[in-house]
Structure 1
């Protein structure tokens, strides 16, 4: 998922501040389990504590404002979807979804039957990044 913005667009001031969009915070939270990291390093450095909390809040805000709900709260939508459901969400052919899986752009697991289950959040991240590139 590439952005149309250069990396320098996220660096502000004298270069000591980086702005992290809520969608990216949610993606990092999901990939790196920032809540676990926050607990592990709590108290070592107050600024690090606050930045990790801010990333978590940005991720939660993105999810509640149109992204995906927080996985720690009851979620009426299943976290795993079929290739057909992913294809509908992305407005593409199911074969395209399978290519996205095999190239590592979508997180999925293959069932013994050969069918794929795709992580809904990675589909949402892919869709948001694709929309951002088109804008």
Structure 2
């Protein structure tokens, strides 16, 4: 797994249909990590929340190119700064999809720009009350 660039974990493999949005897949994983975070350390508790919010904005075609830098900055502020390894695992989907499928993020953002939606507030989905 390490030779393939994967981090140690469950060793699970996810198979997706051709054409699956990797940004959407990363968002679903981030929502899982946000939900499962114990909330004891600030980088993980707050960082996963901000990652989910930023990715939801991109997926809902309201993202801005600056959001890509925000995602990277958030991941860097979580990496190595949590009580356990959960935070490092949580950022992996974002970092790997930004590395390998950045064009998918950029396409969603270009669609937002073309539609005049970039930067507009997204549909607010409930996140409060988790921690």
Instruction: Establish whether TM, by shorter chain, passes 0.5.
Output: no
Larger radius of gyration: 1
TM-score normalised by the chain length of structure 1 = 0.27
The structure whose RCO (Cα within 8 Å, separation 6+) is larger is 2
